[in-house]
Structure 1
Amino acid sequence: MAFFAILPLLYLLTIVQAGLAAHPQTCPPTLSRSLPAPTDLPIIEALPDPWTFFNNASLKSPADWACRKAELLTLVQEYMYGYYPDTSRETVKASRDGDTLVVTVSVGKKSGKFNVTLSMPTNVNATRRDPVPVVISAGGVNDTVFLGSGVALATFTVTDVAADSTTPGGVFWDLYSGEDIGVITAWAWGFNRILDAIIEVVPEFDQKRVGVIGCSRDGKAALAAGIFDERITLTMPMSSGLEGIAPWRFQFQELGENEKITNITGYAPYWTNTNLLKFVNNSHQIPFDSHLNVALVAPRAIIWDEGTIDYWTNPEGEARVTFLASKAVYDWLGASDKIGVAIRDSGHCDIFGYTNIQAFMLKEFFGTPTDRNYSDISPYTPYPTAYPWIDSAPGKSLG
């Protein structure tokens, strides 16, 4: 796919970042599709430095973040996600029948559709004049946490969008057959097209208070959805593991094995583009890590949940490494209260996880005060070996 496929995203990124800084430095040359092969990239032992451009030039202040964010968006697409489709070529139409939303997407003469289930809050009357926040959910959640808090749900099945299989199937592949795009990106595209449909025919949902959520592989997709769509105000990846919140470079396996790139490329290589498979022998050559995927959401809000005995998803790495490294970027941007981690003493996709993030969600959607410290990584401790650059952020915070 041509590099121009990401231009609409970069344009949107520029508009959003205008509120952060009026006069960034001149950006380094835009990265092209002639980037190095994975095997030709340098080995980076620690987490890649957020404040160093791909050409090794240094950022000078938070005003430069828009430039860095734009090149990171290219890097994660080139080496992991595949290039997000050019949505300017798409036509999205929505129809609504009771609690069913039908999303139809067309590209040229190709077309496909999938269904979404709408659930209204139980304690408020959602109207065009008084719209409610909405969370787009990949699969079921603890409904009470959302509907009982005045938050609507729009729930879909990711496999209707793209099959969880090496054999392409679903609406996305009806439109983009043959493209080197990961299924995680296809699922993220599904979240984003649902938001298009909501904007078109569900005026009771507040377009300025939109969340995305998913657990496990759906959590990987929720993170990608937050990365690729600046309209999403709260991203909530649950128990997402590798290709989500877990770091590529640092595993903590004293109590149980962590998911690794060799595992994923063995049982689900189609989750990403083919370039990622070429890092299987050295993940230290990946020019980003999970902290930079999280930082691509900045300065919008993100909260993730993890269970201390969910060893496969590397909860220790998500807290000790990813959280503290990505929070440094949020702090630098003056958005310290927009990132959080919620740790619980249980396993994979525990239903308590939704209660675990509830206070953060209510703070973001309604301004509800909370005493919960969502920067607390206990029972874990910081792992400074992973981020030797953490105290070298250039310039001042914008906060």
Structure 2
Amino acid sequence: MYGEKPGKPSSVSGSVTSSRITVNVAHNGRSTSFSANVSLPNRPGPHPAVVVYGGFGADTATIRDAGAAVISFDPYVVGKEGTGRANKQGAFYDIYGSNSSTGLLMAWAWGVSRIIDVIEASGGSILTADATGVTGCSRFGKGAFVAGVFDQRIALTMPIESGTAGLPILRGVPGEGAQSLSSAYGEQPWFGDAFGSYTGNPDGLPVDMHQMVGLIAPRGLLVMDNPHIANLGPRSASVAALAGAEVYKALGAGSNITYWSDVADGTHCANRAEWRAPLRQSIQAFLLGSGTPPGQMRISSRAAGNLSQWVDWTTPTLVDGPVPTPSVTPTASPAPSPAPSPTPSITPTPSPTPSPSATPTPTATPPPPPNPGGCTATVSLNQWNGGFVATIKVTAGSSGLSGWTTTVTLPGGAGVSNAWNSVNSGTSGTVRFTNAPWNGTVGAGQSTEFGFQGTGSGEGMRTTCA
């Protein structure tokens, strides 16, 4: 899904001060460097630290007040967005090549691991390397999640509103109205290149995101989610958390995972009052070694996944040590005696019982009549109070396309704040979207998708294609 994460390079060096971390990497005749700012809490050190992606993550004031330092990590210096898959750029690709099949999320995770390498080598007088956290929101929530999955040194992983390519189960995304797999794959090179074969067939994958949660277990995991924006896939994210929690329970660590989508404010990436207490508890438990973790499943009834729809397996109880070998009676028909059933004490996880309610099905414009030799554009809309996400499917006619332009007429008061898989001209009224360099060629009868996030209401928008 994400591409290979190479092991530690042959040379990693750098420095840690009270305000900055520098990282220098050399490997196979190539070298690169990057840095990150540090903000210490107002108390004696050394301190554990939380790596915050791109300035968007858990509330930094609460992090410092709880006793952890903040490392402000710019993931774009390690893996730059806005590039094609054959020309990836940033510190990771300086070492492993611009045509590396590793996607940005894994490249960013590699960068976090190199920061931890430098902290480990620094002697621990300012920052401690045995207790590191990571957090981010939206695309940076995807990044924080992947970083926690693939580095066992990260004691606390805190993704926020991570959306497709983050926590939501990939098999659930198409039915929820979340950002489609093809849209997330094409918007930026977040996924690894190999995932392109599965964007239309998630059932063909041998893995799904609950197993990524299982790779974090039994380390600390605090997932903060937004049930008000279907485009983020919160229902599918709750399924991943619930299924992943079964791994935590099997390991006797049920209280080490918290999923919290029961929030009133629907603003994307807002610092919510409901999260301050579990955030503080998690930092104290997993980074400072004091108190107990929150251990809660606070799932909003707006976007509550039904685990029984997805799981057909029974959670085992795991124990340390070798698996007991059943004794066998040497008779003509050997029959093994029943295997023992150990039942270690498992920390209970609070189990709220929200009333699940189905996420509203995204509204879609009726498909226009076929346009032989040209193209058609249809829009699916995910609307919330004050904003929306529009996903637009461009379908070629009988002769295929070597480029396309979709004209979108927005309702009064609506505006475009962010677009992907396209280049837009204008942000309000009549807006023209042309293909990106990688999705202009569309075979006869085939489709591609682009999308944009908007302010106001998208109800009633009109689209044409040429």
For the aligned pair, the TM-score class normalised by the smaller chain equals 0.7 to 0.9
Match of 1:58 in 2: none
* Cα separation, partners in 2 of 1:296 and 1:98, compared to 1, 3 Å: closer
Shift of the 111–371 alpha-carbon distance from structure 1 to 2, 3 Å rule, reads: closer
Q: 1:95 aligns with which of 11, 15, 30?
A: 15
Of 176, 185, 190, the residue aligned with 1:271 is 190
Aligned-residue offset at 1:287: 0.7
Match of 2:394 in 1: none
Distance 1:383 1:227, change over 3 A: closer
Are residue 341 (structure 1) and residue 259 (structure 2) matched?
Answer: yes
Residue in structure 2 matched with residue 388 of structure 1 by the alignment: 312
In proportion to residue count, which structure has more helix?
Answer: 1
Change (3 A) 1:357 1:316: farther
Q: How does 1:1-399 map to 2 (within 5 A)?
A: 80-87=1-8, 89-96=9-16, 99-122=19-42, 124-126=43-45, 131-140=46-55, 141=57, 142-165=59-82, 166=84, 167-177=87-97, 178-201=99-122, 202-251=124-173, 257-268=177-188, 270-319=189-238, 321-343=239-261, 344-345=263-264, 346-352=266-272, 355=276, 357-369=279-291, 374-379=296-301, 380=304, 382-391=306-315, 396=342, 399=346
> Could you tell me how far 1:100 is from its partner in structure 2?
1.9
Alpha-carbon separation, structure 2, partners of 1:310 and 1:359: 27
Aligned CA distance change for structure 1 residues 252 and 271 (closer, same or farther; 3 Å): closer
Identity among equivalent pairs (%): 28
Q: Structure with the greater relative contact order (CA < 8 A, sep ≥ 6): 1 or 2?
A: 1
Tell me, what secondary structure is at the counterpart of 1:85?
A: coil
Deviation of residue 97 (structure 1)? 5.4
Q: Shift of residue 209 of structure 1?
A: 1.5
Cα-to-partner distance string for 1:120-143 (whole Å, 9 max, x where unaligned):
002x111xxxx2221111122432
Distance across 1 between alignment mates of 2:140 and 2:312 = 32
In structure 2, C-alpha distance between the alignment counterparts of 1:354 and 1:215, rounded to whole Å: 13
**Which amino acid in 2 is paired with 1:117?**
N
Answer whether contact 1:245 1:290 (CA < 8 A) is retained. Answer: yes
For residues 223 and 117 of structure 1, the distance between their equivalents in structure 2, rounded to whole angstroms, comes to 21
Specify whether residues 332 and 159 from structure 1 end up closer, same or farther in structure 2 by C-alpha distance, changes over 3 A only.
same
Q: 1:397 to 1:136 in 2, by over 3 A?
A: farther
Q: Partners of 1:371 and 1:138 in 2: how far apart?
A: 23
Deviations 1:70-115 (A, max 9, x none): xxxxxxxxxx11111132x431111345512211111132111111
Indicate the SS of the match to 1:275.
helix
Give SS of 1:307's match. coil
Q: How many residues align?
A: 310
SS at match of 1:351: coil
Contact 2:141/2:162 (<8 A) preserved: yes
CA distance in 2, matches of 1:212, 1:190: 12
* Residues 229/397 of structure 1: CA separation in 2 closer, same or farther (3 Å cut): farther
Deviations 1:204-252 (A, max 9, x none): 2222221111111111111221122111111111111121101111148
State the alpha-carbon separation in 2 of the partners of residues 241 and 279 from structure 1.
Answer: 17
CA contact (8 A) 2:169 2:208 kept: yes
Does the aligned pair in 1 maintain the 2:227–2:300 contact within 8 Å? no
The answer to whether the 8 Å contact 1:132/1:152 transfers is: yes
- Listed one character per residue, the Cα deviations across residues 29-62 of structure 1 (whole Å, up to 9, x for unaligned) are xxxxxxxxxxxxxxxxxxxxxxxxxxxxxxxxxx
Q: Is the 8 A contact 1:233 1:300 kept in 2?
A: yes
Aligned-pair Cα RMSD in Å: 2.3
Change (3 A) 1:121 1:371: closer
1:262: how far off? 1.9
Structure 2: give runs of 5+ residues left out of the alignment. Answer: 319-340, 347-466
Cα deviation per residue 1:322-354 (whole Å; 9 max; x = unaligned)? 111000111011111111112223232112276
Q: 1:252 to 1:284 in 2, by over 3 A?
A: closer
Provide the secondary structure at the position in 1 that maps to 2:81.
Answer: coil
Change (3 A) 1:175 1:389: same
Q: Distance in 2 between matches of 1:371 and 1:106?
A: 39
What TM-score comes out, normalization by structure 1 length?
0.72
Task: Report the structure, 1 or 2, having the larger strand content.
Answer: 2
CA distance in 1, matches of 2:286, 2:12: 28
Aligned residue identity for 1:318: A
Alpha carbons of structure 1 residues 295 and 369: separation in structure 2 relative to 1, 3 Å: same
